Structure 1
């Protein structure tokens, strides 16, 4: 189950992140600063912190909610994520300017941390942690998924964004979340207590 948590978390978040505002933010930061290594380090630091917090919330919810409420909340949140995946994201230039005077690493870490608050991937991290009851593996997986989408954006920039069919990627991610939601509502995970 823990390897499944890692694999699903990585794949779902990598798909969800394609065209997401943090991927667009990575493109903007790369264009503005042209220093990929501190940008990638800032993305890693911000993502680990943000997703660790989300994993802690997911673990707390799993420990404190009645299994029936947990199953319904989790199933509906996955279905909500499926719908949310179909809404395109935008990033504002102000997101980059917020911390630009602090250096490339700090600007990236702060901008990414703030951009990820209540974002799709943070919400997905909470839901996946509740579903799999393996917070460490989920956080590692969601962080890897973020990096799979955002690091190439730092290095290849616009060329990547123009060649990847974002509607298709978002559709696949929405389908995966919908399947997770339906399976949860239909009782998948009953052996886990919800």
Structure 2
């Protein structure tokens, strides 16, 4: 199952590079402690990739797309406005951010996990994980473009577990790098600037997600 793990990790990491959730991880890590952001992202990724492997396309039939899109867009715009309001207050740090952080790790982890989950739900990396789980052999053949020819099994519990763990590892690797970068930027830049940039980023994400659902 090692080959299945490597194929899933490599393909998902490649698909996640530059994705909106990687940027989201960077933005969140610039505002909150990186270990809490990492914990929230990890929880979301484990859940998302498990859904992709076990349920896959069932998500699209059980959850109506329109209400889901409205919730996602509203969530990101609220986060964005909240950040911009915090940036406009006196002091080095936004009051809302400080109040949330003072309540401990769980509120921040929950916020991060919820934002990441909603942003990534149905995204290309989750659908790629579904495709790999459905036909690991076909996914392995795509690596022939770089000279690799892995011989992957067709399915089974061990294969699905390897796809889940591999795709999770790929997502964590890419988003972990973004979290480290965001943590460095957050420590070096003035908090009001970080709050304004993250606020605008959240609103832009919300608009882009809404536009993508309208055009799909």
TM-score, structure 1 normalization:
0.58
Contact 1:29–1:96, Cα closer than 8 Å, also in 2: no
* Structure 2 equivalent of residue 48 of structure 1: 46
SS in 2 for 1:118: coil
Match of 2:173 among 148, 167, 171: 148
Q: In the aligned structure 2, how far is the partner of 1:8 from the partner of 1:95?
A: 36
Q: In the aligned structure 1, how far is the partner of 2:6 from the partner of 2:78?
A: 31
* Structure 2 equivalent of residue 191 of structure 1: none
Segments of 5+ residues of structure 2 without an aligned counterpart are: 59-72, 83-96, 101-105, 137-154, 186-216
Q: In the aligned structure 2, how far is the partner of 1:92 from the partner of 1:146?
A: 25
CA RMSD of aligned residues (A): 3.1
TM-fit CA distance, 1:97: 1.2
> Larger radius of gyration, structure 1 or 2?
2
TM-fit CA distance, 1:93: 9.2
Specify whether residues 124 and 37 from structure 1 end up closer, same or farther in structure 2 by C-alpha distance, changes over 3 A only: same
Q: In the aligned structure 1, how far is the partner of 2:172 from the partner of 2:20?
A: 14
Segments of 5+ residues of structure 1 without an aligned counterpart are: 61-90, 161-194
Q: In the aligned structure 2, how far is the partner of 1:95 from the partner of 1:108?
A: 15
Which deviations, in whole Å up to 9, do the C-alpha atoms of 1:95-122 show, x marking residues without a partner? Answer: 6818986721011110111111110110
* Structure 1 equivalent of residue 164 of structure 2: 139
1:24-43 → structure 2 map (5 Å cutoff)? 24-33=23-32, 35-43=33-41
Size of the aligned set, in residue pairs, is 128
TM-fit CA distance, 1:126: 0.4
Specify whether residues 95 and 121 from structure 1 end up closer, same or farther in structure 2 by C-alpha distance, changes over 3 A only: farther
1:154-173 → structure 2 map (5 Å cutoff)? 154-157=179-182
Q: In the aligned structure 1, how far is the partner of 2:114 from the partner of 2:24?
A: 12
Contact 2:56–2:127, Cα closer than 8 Å, also in 1: no
